[in-house]
A and B are shown apart, each in its own frame.
Chain A
Amino acid sequence: MVLVLTHDDCLSHVTPPGHPEQVARLEAVERGLRGLPMTRGAAAMGDVADVLRCHPQRYVDRLRAAVPDEGWAQVDGDTFLSPGSFDAAMRGVGGICQAVDHVMTDGGRAFVAARPPGHHAERDTAMGFCLFGTVAIGAMRALEVHGLSRVAVLDFDVHHGNGTQDLLWDEARVRFVSSHQMPLYPGSGHRDERGAHGQITNLPLAGGSGGAQMWAAWQPVLDDLRRWQPELIMISAGFDAHRDDPLAGLTWTTADFARLTRAICELADECCAGRVVSSLEGGYDLEALAASVAAHVTELGRQAA
Chain B
Amino acid sequence: MTDTPAEKPVSGMSFEEAMAALEQVVGQLERGDVALEASIALYERGAALKAHCEAKLKDAEEKVELIRAAEGSAIGTTPVEGM
Which residues of A are at the interface with B, using a C-beta cutoff of 8 A?
Answer: 19-20, 76-78, 120, 128-129, 159, 162, 181, 183-188, 207, 246-249
Contacts and interface: CB of A to CB of B under 8 A. Distances in A.
A183 B36 contact: no
B43 A188 contact: no
B36 A129 contact: yes
Chain B interface size, under 10 / 10 to 19 / 20 to 34 / 35 or more: 10 to 19
B35 interface: yes
What are the nearest 5 A-B pairs in CB distance? Answer: A187-B32, A77-B35, A185-B39, A183-B29, A185-B36
B35 A76 contact: yes
Contact of A249 (B30, B37, B44): B44
Nearest to A19: B37
Contacts of A249: 40, 43-44, 47
A76 B39 CA distance: 14
Interface class of chain A by DSSP? loop
A143 to B, nearest CB: 29
Contacts of A162: 32
Given A77-B1, A77-B2, A183 B43 contact: yes
Nearest to B31: A187
A87 B49 CA distance: 44
Instruction: Give the residue among B35, B36, B40 with the most A Cβ atoms within 10 A.
Output: B36
Contacts of A159: 36
Interface in B1-15: 1-2
B30 A187 contact: yes
B64 interface: no
Contacts of A185: 29, 32, 34-36, 39
Contacts of A246: 40
Contacts of B26: 183
Nearest to B46: A183
Contact of B35 (A78, A181, A183, A248): A78
Contacts of B2: 77
Given A77-B1, A77-B2, A184 B43 contact: yes
Given A183-B43, A184-B43, A78 B36 contact: yes
19 contacts: A20-B37, A76-B35, A77-B1, A77-B35, A77-B36, A78-B36, A78-B37, A128-B36, A129-B36, A162-B32, A181-B43, A184-B40, A185-B34, A185-B35, A187-B31, A187-B32, A187-B33, A188-B32, A246-B40
A124 to B, nearest CB: 16
Contacts of A120: 36
A183 B30 contact: yes
Contacts of B39: 184-185, 247
Contacts of B44: 249
